[in-house]
Chain A
Amino acid sequence: MTKKYGMVIDLKRCIGCHTCEIACKLENDVPMGMYWNRILTEGGKYMDAPKGEYPNVQRGYLPLACQHCENAPCVKVCPVAATYKSEDGRVLINYERCIGCRYCMAACPYNVRVFNWQEPVRIPDFDYGSADTPKRKRGIVEKCSFCEQRVNKGMQPFCVEVCPARARHFGDLNDPSSEVAQLVRTRKGEQLLEDRGTKPQVYYVR
């Protein structure tokens, strides 16, 4: 059977430390003003916002990046097939092909794609991250690629490797014995905006 790469994020474990967010920025050479992977706080826009009414409060986080949808609207709307579904189930972008029309950004219900309006500004002012991280020029769309440069070599996406709470898991959803498939099964993985029919390959467990 072909692979279907996916991710499971354990919201019970996630401590909202933002490590994966910053590590992703580093690994993927993401310019200033952009993040491919963000940690949303369930209670509000501040990192420590609780949910609920005082004194009965809780805190929760939602790490959010591309959901690598099985039925990806971004893939459908791309007029030049720059965004495509790879054979192993990842939604990737051929940055050379992208013409910057941003249809995909409008189509994506998860607001996880970012666009370089200007010449990318970086601090430091050179390309950082892994040497084989794809380079992106100005005027194109970019997003989480499940760290294609790493996964292609059999490694885990960087956010999975760096999570100090071990809240992130990556693997083949089609392999019933994989950790991700088991987690989805045993802990009832939830998908974001399930009603949109996008069939995300990123699952959240609580």
Chain B
Amino acid sequence: MPKVFRNLCPRNCFSTCSILSYVENGKLVRVSGDPAHGFTRGNLCAKGYAYVERVYSPERILHPLRQFPRGSGNWCPITWEEALETIARKILELKGRYHSFRPVGFCKQYGNMGLLHYAANALFDGLGSVTVTEGNSCWSAGLDAYLYSMGSMEKPDPEDMVNSKVIVLWGVNPAWTAVHQMHFIDRARTRGAQVVVIDPVFTATAAQADLYLRPKAGSDGALALGMAKYIVENAWHDHEFLAHHVEGYEAFFAYLTSISYDWVEQETALPVEAIKEVTELYALNSPAAIWTGLGLQRHTNGGQNVRTILTLAALTGNLGRPGAGLYNPSMTPWELFSFYTRDHVISRHPVEHRRININLLGAELKKTTDPPVKMLWLAQRDLFQDAHTGSLRGALEDLELIVQVDQFLNRSSRYADIFLPTTTQFEEWDVLPSYWHHWIGINEPAISPLGESKSDLQIAWDLSRKLNELSPGICSFPTAGKEEEWVAGEFNQEVYSRLEIEDYRELLQGPRKLKWPQVAWEEMKFKTPSEKFEISSLTAASEGLPLLPVYSEPASAPAAYPFRLMTPHSQSGNNSQFLNLPWLTWGTGEPCLRINPLTAKRLGLSNGARVRVYNQQGEIVFPVKLSATIREDTLVCFQGWPGSAEHELNDLLNGSPTDMGSKGSGRPSIAIHDTFVNLCPA
């Protein structure tokens, strides 16, 4: 009989599934969803069921490796001792040379979101001030729109969506990226709810919608303004709600009189009838919910567009009630945890690191000179998901040591000198909340670490030990410990009482739901200076942004580059992860460029024709695939394609920043969907 363990899927995904892991003779032979988890309800996604392949993939790296020379692909096994000694000596040598730890760079993102995976952050805190990357490429602009409007990123329990009469999925494709939410959407539909999808791409979710709108990418703010205008004209707004809970609506109403439906039609490329239809649906069927997607805000006007969408909920009073609300990922349940690992050092000795923008890493590395960054610790990250990959290559080549900590080699590995193999969730203790649902599970080791892989926490202890051996007292991060005790450290009385347990080990019997409001903003006390929903935001104005959610012109295609290149999530991957697994290669075929059939006809291109896609930043050669899912001015290539030594998809990104992002995550993110290109037969 197999033994069954509980794990959590730590990927950057809405679902944060609880997994039942079946182990026989020390091997993970099967996984299944955990029926005790009320949101994922016993299901994983396709990627989740492929974990058995991922853990034992022949491509997984199980021993420390050294690549010499860099970029050669000549990776040779080395011992942990040699690897740690090389790294520690480099850190100490840099400190000697520059009298500072700032030449040591640290760059980590969300490959594994577990709380114990913050060990590396704390390890570097233990040295003192180093150089860390700040910002993220994901959700920053939209997050700030929520912060300006409501003061904090709070959202309803996604299970509450069953109570909605109308669900507006605005630039979000849960059928691919949040499959478990489809169940709650379907339940609402069985109870009569209407589902609206607004997306420049006709997605799998759009195919299920009762009403689908395909606006021009980046014009969402104009659509929302048209909707707001129609609401006010018909007096469908909630007077009572506005008077008590909303700041600045009068000025906004005045602004609405200055826009015309003709303008909205022209801006969005949507017929005014469709705009009126969606408005009527949303405004007259209460409660109605809006879920703002992440792609939606990856525009130079993305934050302002999201802000405008959010006002629709304020106008119609669709806040603070079951079935209503505004949905976006939220870290609020995370904040309940102790961050015992992440703050291990800084809770005692605050550290001021030098911060550089993760979204412009190449340029930022080049311009930090005093002292320059000479070494990079790269964890859970594929740098070629960034923009400006050209300058990135040069900057990486200039570094004296690059250490990569991961499970698989990826595009960044070409530049790495040392690769340290880390464990999967099945081989370690961990805990992580979800940014979407309110369930908390626990992650226990189901199998022993494969090969010589070590958990991120173990690696941090080991490197601290090595550093302290060579230079006693140099790093204040612990040099040994017990993983499970660190899991315990992440819990506290508040978390326990909200889970109604006394000990984290009770979660081994099954995940539990946090006692956490099902509805956000029920008290109607927003966390803005006025304690109201701020349509007019002095905070935004004081930070150089418009006072009101007025329209901010989207980036438009320059004459030389008439096509918009969009790079949405692929179905079988999670950013750069999973795409290397043969189990998951359905229908993806060769990387290709999706092109509207009418455009293809105009250009004389047929399925499979190879084209050169180019702009000022770079070029890439692809076969085209005709797809009627997109507009004539749009091209789509799903993200995560490994590329080749010469060309990466992201070579085409110019890295224009989004309009917002600094407030919530330190830096604006990249307007990834405002990439313009031209193409010609290759």
A-side residues, CB < 8 A to B, are 13, 15-19, 21-23, 25-27, 32, 38-39, 41, 45-50, 52-55, 57-60, 123-131, 161-166
How far does the alpha carbon of A105 sit from the alpha carbon of B587 in the complex, in Å? 23
Contact B182 A164 (CB under 8 A): yes
8 tightest CB-CB pairs across the interface, nearest first? A124-B56, A47-B587, A59-B207, A54-B628, A15-B175, A164-B179, A22-B46, A23-B49
How far does the alpha carbon of A129 sit from the alpha carbon of B32 in the complex, in Å? 10
- Nearest CB in chain A to that of B35: its residue: A161
Contact A49 B627 (CB under 8 A): yes
How far does the alpha carbon of A206 sit from the alpha carbon of B1 in the complex, in Å? 41
Contact A131 B587 (CB under 8 A): no
How far does the alpha carbon of A43 sit from the alpha carbon of B94 in the complex, in Å? 58
Shortest CB distance A71–B (Å): 31
- Nearest CB in chain A to that of B59: its residue: A123
Q: Which residues of B contact A130 (CB under 8 A)?
A: 30
- Nearest CB in chain A to that of B187: its residue: A166
How far does the alpha carbon of A17 sit from the alpha carbon of B598 in the complex, in Å? 28
Contact A19 B45 (CB under 8 A): yes
How far does the alpha carbon of A49 sit from the alpha carbon of B586 in the complex, in Å? 13
How far does the alpha carbon of A13 sit from the alpha carbon of B594 in the complex, in Å? 26
How far does the alpha carbon of A48 sit from the alpha carbon of B208 in the complex, in Å? 14
Contact B208 A131 (CB under 8 A): no
Shortest CB distance B201–A (Å): 9
Contact B629 A57 (CB under 8 A): yes
Size of B's binding interface in residues, CB under 8 A: 54
- Nearest CB in chain A to that of B632: its residue: A54
Contact A129 B30 (CB under 8 A): yes
Interface SS majority for chain A: loop
Q: Which residues of A contact B183 (CB under 8 A)?
A: 164-166
How far does the alpha carbon of A33 sit from the alpha carbon of B555 in the complex, in Å? 45
Q: List 28 A-B contacts (CB under 8 A).
A: A15-B204, A18-B46, A18-B584, A26-B49, A46-B589, A46-B627, A47-B587, A48-B204, A48-B629, A52-B628, A57-B629, A58-B207, A59-B206, A123-B53, A124-B52, A125-B56, A131-B1, A131-B24, A131-B29, A161-B32, A161-B42, A162-B43, A164-B43, A164-B179, A164-B180, A164-B183, A165-B183, A166-B183
Contact B55 A124 (CB under 8 A): yes
Contact with B582, one of A53, A59, A123 (Cβ below 8 angstroms): A123
How far does the alpha carbon of A162 sit from the alpha carbon of B629 in the complex, in Å? 28
Q: Which residues of B contact A19 (CB under 8 A)?
A: 43-46, 49, 179
Contact A50 B625 (CB under 8 A): no
How far does the alpha carbon of A21 sit from the alpha carbon of B584 in the complex, in Å? 10
- Nearest CB in chain B to that of A39: its residue: B586
Contact with B52, one of A13, A50, A128 (Cβ below 8 angstroms): A128
How far does the alpha carbon of A165 sit from the alpha carbon of B241 in the complex, in Å? 36
How far does the alpha carbon of A165 sit from the alpha carbon of B187 in the complex, in Å? 10
Contact A48 B627 (CB under 8 A): yes
Contact A17 B179 (CB under 8 A): yes
Q: Is B131 an interface residue (CB 8 A)?
A: no
Shortest CB distance B600–A (Å): 10
Q: Which residues of B contact A55 (CB under 8 A)?
A: 214, 628
How far does the alpha carbon of A45 sit from the alpha carbon of B625 in the complex, in Å? 11
Question: Which of A16, A18, A57, A129 has the largest number of chain B CB atoms within 10 A?
Answer: A18
Shortest CB distance A27–B (Å): 7
How far does the alpha carbon of A60 sit from the alpha carbon of B208 in the complex, in Å? 9
How far does the alpha carbon of A19 sit from the alpha carbon of B24 in the complex, in Å? 24
Q: Is B597 an interface residue (CB 8 A)?
A: yes
How far does the alpha carbon of A130 sit from the alpha carbon of B1 in the complex, in Å? 10
- Nearest CB in chain A to that of B41: its residue: A164
Q: Which residues of A contact B614 (CB under 8 A)?
A: none
